[in-house]
Structure 1
Amino acid sequence: MRVALFVTCVNDTMFPGTGRATVTLLRRLGCDVVFPMGQTCCGQMHLNTGYPEEGGRLARHFTDVFAGHDAVVVPSGSCAAMIREQYARLAPAATAFAERVAETVPKVHELSGFLVDVLGVTDVGAYFPHRVTYHPTCHSLRGLRLGDRPVRLLEQVRGLELVPLPAADECCGFGGTFAVKNPAVSAAMCADKARNVTATGAEVLCAADNSCLMHIGGTLGRQRTGVRTMHLAEILASTEAAR
């Protein structure tokens, strides 16, 4: 299967290890992974801040760049939700853009959804001997409705002890520009999330969105909790040989 990686802005700029881990994981599972060099932003932050025309141009560019692949994998529930939920609304009816959206968007998958639903695997051959708790981010939980797919993948990782996160479905308070426009509320929400994370006794907090991990990780770091944050792709890419 020919799979294109959409790495996303946050990962490309701040968490390149997530992109590398995604490629390692997909190749291990037999996928032919390509990285279209023309990719830019999905347009989410433009649309969310009131610039639909600019967001629409980026959406049109995305559908041009990623046309023709068997699947497009996105290691971010937030960006995958933007593409799958909003692109059809940005494309005027009966246009070439709308045709390209109809062709490309159904092939776009968040990483865990692609592994479980498209490849049909939960055991990806990973080894990660640590105590881990999982935070289901808002877009993956409420937008994409990934359900327990990430958890099913983590449960099959050898050596990993998965512990439940109290109030897991509560937002961490990031929400992109929400954290900028409402810093006090955002910080209070994140403090609640950090308190629940530390209560698990986990060594590692895992999620499918680095934006949320960045937000929670900042609080965990300032509190000197010692809890690390890791994207789901990085845990699933880990193997016993890498010990």
Structure 2
Amino acid sequence: MKVGFFITCLVDLMRPRIGLAAIRLIESAGFEVEVPMAQTCCGQPAYNSGDRATAQALARKLLDEFERYDYVVMPSGSCGGMVRTHYHELLADDPELSYRYARLQPKVYELTQFLVEVAGVTDVPGRYDGEVTYHDSCAGLRELGIKQQPRALLQHTGAKLKEMAQCEQCCGFGGTFSVKYGDISAAIADEKCEHIAASGTGAVVLGDLGCMLHLEGRLRRRGDTTTRVIHIAEILAGEA
């Protein structure tokens, strides 16, 4: 079966190796992967900022590019939540787009959700000899129910998971929130950094690059140059 891979803006521009790791995982699970080269954004930044027209245009573009695939997979609960949860309301005024979206929506998955719930993965290429803690990104957790899937997959790498305090608490990024409310965002990130440090693992794993960049940047600004911040795709693919 054929998977359309939505790489996401941040991964494409900032950490393309995460996308390559995710593709490797999907292919190792026995699926053919295609990456539509004209893809851009899921529309979430525009949607969250009240620019409905731009968000709708981007949603239509995504439909045009991905509706032909058996599955659509993205290495981000944030983008996955936007497409799988918010497109319904965003496209509600257009009967044609609503119909097309209703057919696409059940095929959209965040990476770990796809590997566990669709592919039934019981082994992964990566091995990790050490302790890690896990940060639950807000959108993946609350909009898609991403909680046990990454933890189940981490077990296959040999990593020892130590849960941090308040692992479900926001990291403070929140997309445009971190731009509009920088001081609040930094304070929330500081609290999360303290929980990561208290876990004693030296490594935090997570599934959204926005959260990853935010926490990594805050850790470094606080003088922590050693704690590793790893995307789940990288550790599962053996590229951490």
TM-score normalised to the size of structure 2?
A: 0.95
Listed one character per residue, the Cα deviations across residues 25-77 of structure 1 (whole Å, up to 9, x for unaligned) are: 11111111111112111000000001111101100110110011110101000
The answer on 1:237 being equivalent to 2:237 is yes
The answer on 1:189 being equivalent to 2:193 is no
1:201 is aligned to 200
What is the letter of the counterpart of residue 95 of structure 1? P
Listed one character per residue, the Cα deviations across residues 56-99 of structure 1 (whole Å, up to 9, x for unaligned) are: 11001101100111101010000000001111112145622112
2:223 is aligned to 224
Contact 1:41 1:58 in 2 (8 A): yes
Task: Give the Cα separation in 1 of the matches to 2:93 and 2:52.
Answer: 16
The answer on 1:127 being equivalent to 2:116 is no
Aligned length: 239
SS at match of 1:229: strand
2:111 is aligned to 111
2:87 is aligned to 87
Task: Give the Cα separation in 1 of the matches to 2:34 and 2:110.
Answer: 16
Task: Give the Cα separation in 1 of the matches to 2:223 and 2:27.
Answer: 36
Contact 2:29 2:121 in 1 (8 A): no
TM-score normalised to the size of structure 1?
A: 0.94
The answer on 1:54 being equivalent to 2:54 is yes
Task: Give the Cα separation in 1 of the matches to 2:44 and 2:31.
Answer: 28
After the TM superposition, which of the residue ranges 66-75 and 115-124 deviates more from structure 2?
Answer: 115-124
2:167 is aligned to 168
Contact 1:64 1:100 in 2 (8 A): no
Task: Give the Cα separation in 2 of the matches to 1:237 and 1:18.
Answer: 9
- Could you tell me how far 1:130 is from its partner in structure 2? 2.6
Contact 2:29 2:115 in 1 (8 A): no
- Could you tell me how far 1:183 is from its partner in structure 2? 1.0
What are structure 2's unaligned runs of at least 5 residues?
Answer: none
Q: CA RMSD in A?
A: 1.4
Task: Give the Cα separation in 2 of the matches to 1:107 and 1:170.
Answer: 28
SS at match of 1:4: strand
SS at match of 2:11: helix
What is the letter of the counterpart of residue 66 of structure 1? F
SS at match of 1:33: strand
Contact 1:130 1:203 in 2 (8 A): no
1:35 is aligned to 35
Task: Give the Cα separation in 1 of the matches to 2:122 and 2:138.
Answer: 22
Task: Give the Cα separation in 2 of the matches to 1:94 and 1:131.
Answer: 49
- Could you tell me how far 1:155 is from its partner in structure 2? 1.6
SS at match of 1:96: helix
SS at match of 1:106: helix
- Could you tell me how far 1:228 is from its partner in structure 2? 1.2
1:145 is aligned to 145
Task: Give the Cα separation in 2 of the matches to 1:91 and 1:187.
Answer: 34
Task: Give the Cα separation in 1 of the matches to 2:4 and 2:128.
Answer: 26
